[in-house]
Amino acid sequence: MTQVVPSSWLTIWDTYDWVEDLVADSLRIGVEVLGQEYVVARMGWGAKEEGKEGSASVDPGEHQDKAEGSS
C-alpha cells in the first residue's frame, strides 16, 4: 500500500477499522524498509569489497586469447 490508491477506497478505510489498521501497518513496514535501505547505503554495508578473497575478476578477452593460441 505504498503506491497510489483510488480515492473511493478512503471511505472504506473510514468504515472498517481493520482495513485502516492493515493500511497503517503496510505504510509502517514500507517506511521501515526504506529507512533500513537508506542506513545500509549511508553506512556502506551493502558495498562489495574489492580484492575480497574467493572472488576473482577475469577479463573476457584474456580467456579468448588463450583459447585462440591453444589451437
**Would residue 20 count as lying in a domain?**
yes
pLDDT of residue 13: 81
Domain with 38, as residue range(s), is: 16-45
pLDDT of residue 46: 76
**Would residue 2 count as lying in a domain?**
no
Region 55-63: mean pLDDT is: 49
Mapped onto helix, strand or coil, the DSSP state of residue 26 is: helix
pLDDT of residue 8: 85
The total of structural domains in the chain comes to 1
pLDDT of residue 36: 93
2-58 pLDDT, tens digit per residue, is 578 888 888 888 889 998 898 889 889 999 999 999 999 999 887 765 545 444 444
Measured distance CA(27)–CA(31) in Å, rounded = 6
**Would residue 37 count as lying in a domain?**
yes
